[in-house]
Amino acid sequence: MTFGLVDLRGGRSAERLDAILARHAATDPGVEEAVPRIVSAVRTEGDEALYRFTREFDQVDPGAGAAGFRAAAGEIRELASAVSPALKSAVERAIFNVRLFHERQVQHSWTMNRQPGVTLGMRVRPLDSVGIYVPGGKAAYPSTVIMNAVPAQVAGVRRIVAVTPPRTFRGSPVVAYVLERLGIEEVYLVGGAQAVAALAYGTESIPRVDKVVGPGNSYVAAAKRQVFGQVAIDAIAGPSEVVVVADGSAEAAWVAADLLSQAEHDEAASAIAVTWEPDVAVAIVREVERQVARLGRSAIARESLARYGAVFLVEDEAAACELVDRLAPEHVELQVREPARLADRIRFAGALFLGNYTAEVVGDYLAGPNHVLPTHGTARFASPLGVYDFQVRTSMIAYDRGAFLRDAAAIEALAEAEGLGAHAEAVRIRAGRVGVADADAGAAADAESRGAVPAVDPLRLSRPLLGPEHSLPAARPEPVAFVKPSVRALAAYHL
């Protein structure tokens, strides 16, 4: 197929739409066959398998020194020193904004008193360790480090590890600068499915972590799927996708530019415009055809548009919103006259970008909300990466003796109804009785026979959520006065 206008009005054929939706279910048999072999080898052979796969896939000999795969602090500093002042300022601005936004997401422990003698609560604590996969391949991604590491730091994660292919790391000083700026010292130069397996199971050189986050290619995604359960993961990320909803107020050239900013990511990326105005649809198609010829990555963009791109013409605004919800895409831009009103009608999207000046690229780098978003239609049930993904919650329950005796009969009845006699006995033995007898009589007998048993104090969760060991470096003042130069500086590193 080729990129162009697809008229869905009047129940016309949705063949193109069906092809785009089917992209979600596509799998690569070669990947599905190779990844279990790689993961199993790393699990059983450890560093030996990592050395072998690094030579095979990355065409790099990591050597076998005492440091293993860990990047030396001096190498990180040396690479970081090559970053220009302008780019450093852009990075500082991005870190500041991302941290400021994510600090609003922090959840704290809490308690409630449902009735006398009963205290209930939720204890919230950070994960102990997280591994961030920093992808390589077709581009360098310092923004990935920022978007994954900053919320983990805000949550209070003690140990944050980064893994990245060796060629990517050594060819990307800005990635090294971000790692240095965020204080991430544990950096391992290993990539692909083998890196995910190392984080999940641990090797001689790489201690295991509790959660693996960060995007990657199909091998990385398949590896994360396989190790889930051994460790937590953020999501199975798919290729990037954007839907731009446009009316007559939209600039066709701007819509086209935003479509191409997604199409250049990957041949499997999806870039779609939706409008109910025929003139707008025609203008967008023409602008895409004009602009794609000027792109440095035009071959990738053309392939992406041909496979999974389109300008859909629908009946009206309501039909546009229905189509967006059916796609449940990663990014949705609303280049319309009343973006806030339209946003209220859209239920499923990873992120909404309201207004003609809110290009998706602003969210990629600088605005503050996380750019790690649900893909492949999973915005129907998934959410952006956030601080809550780096915290664990524990239910807390405290009953004193009187409260227990009040509820004993009901608990016992429910246990017996499920046929779980030992559960019921755990109630009876505390109540000092057998069967569902009168609770007051049981309470009196219990008082006489066990007067020495101390009552349980209600929960007290008054300690600070995060101790000194979780303190974060102070955010630096905003170093850049305007957004535009910062976005431009970072854009060369996010493709």
Confidence of residue 473 (pLDDT cuts 50, 70, 90): very low
**What are the distances in angstroms from CA 191 to CA 134, 261, 293?**
8, 26, 33
What pLDDT score does 249 carry? 97
270 contacts 256 by C-beta, under 8 angstroms: no
Question: What is the β-pairing status of strands 241-246 and 211-213?
Answer: unpaired
CB-based contacts of 286, cutoff 8 Å, min separation 6 = 252
Cβ–Cβ < 8 Å for 212, 224: yes
CA 465, 470, 476, 478 torsion-angle sign: negative
CATH number of 5-26+239-381: 3.40.50.1980
Please compute the mean of the pLDDT values over residues 48-60 and round it to a whole number.
91
By C-alpha distance, which of 123, 5, 155 is closest to 459? Answer: 123
| 219 within 8 A of 31, measured Cβ to Cβ | yes
For the segment 42-65, the average pLDDT, to the nearest whole number, is 87
**Is 331 among the catalytic positions?**
yes
Residue of 102, 265, 331, 494 with catalytic role: 331
pLDDT of residue 116: 94
pLDDT tens digits for range 167-207: 888 889 999 999 999 999 999 999 999 999 999 999 999 99
Query: Closest Cα partner for 134 from 192, 79, 185, 208?
Result: 192
Cα(306)–Cα(77) distance, rounded to whole angstroms?
43
Task: Determine the pLDDT at residue 238.
Answer: 82
Distance CA 197, CA 191 (A): 10
**309 neighbors 3 (Cβ within 8 angstroms):** yes
- 194, HSE (Cβ side, Cα atoms, 13 Å): 27
Does residue 481 have a pLDDT over 70? Answer: no
Q: Which tokens belong to 247?
A: 């009316």
Would the pLDDT of 333 be above 90? yes
With pLDDT > 70 as the criterion, what percentage of the chain qualifies? 85
46-104+126-235 domain in CATH 3.40.50.300? no
In the prediction, which pLDDT does 456 show?
Answer: 45
Domain boundaries, the chain: 5-26+239-381, 46-104+126-235, 401-449
Q: Where residue 453 falls among pLDDT bands split at 50, 70, 90?
A: very low
pLDDT beyond 70 at 464 = no
- Per the CB < 8 A criterion, the answer to whether 99 and 146 are in contact is no
pLDDT confidence band for 61 (50 / 70 / 90): confident
Query: Which of 287, 330, 333, 360 does the annotation list as catalytic?
Result: 330
Q: What is the pLDDT of residue 375?
A: 92
224-283 pLDDT per residue, tens: 999 999 999 999 888 889 999 999 999 999 999 999 999 998 888 999 999 999 999 999
Same fold: 5-26+239-381 with 46-104+126-235: yes
Mean pLDDT throughout 45-61?
91
What average pLDDT score do residues 352-375 get? 96
Confidence check: pLDDT of 471 > 60: no
pLDDT score at 392: 97
- If you average pLDDT over every residue of the chain, what do you get? 88
Residue 83 has pLDDT above 80, yes or no: yes
Q: pLDDT above 90 covers what percent of the chain?
A: 73
Q: How high is the pLDDT of residue 488?
A: 55
Q: How confident is the model at residue 138 (pLDDT cuts 50, 70, 90)?
A: low
Q: Catalytic: 448? A: no
Q: How far apart are CA 82 and CA 173, in angstroms?
A: 6
Residue 192 neighbours by CB under 8 Å, 6+ apart: 38, 53, 57, 58, 165, 216, 217, 219, 220, 223
Question: Residues with Cβ < 8 Å from 25, sequence gap 6 or more?
Answer: none
Retrieve residue 110's tokens.
Answer: 């809490």
Give the pLDDT band (50/70/90) at residue 469.
very low
Q: Taking a C-beta distance cutoff of 8 angstroms, is the pair 390, 152 a contact?
A: yes
Predicted confidence at residue 479, as pLDDT, reads 37
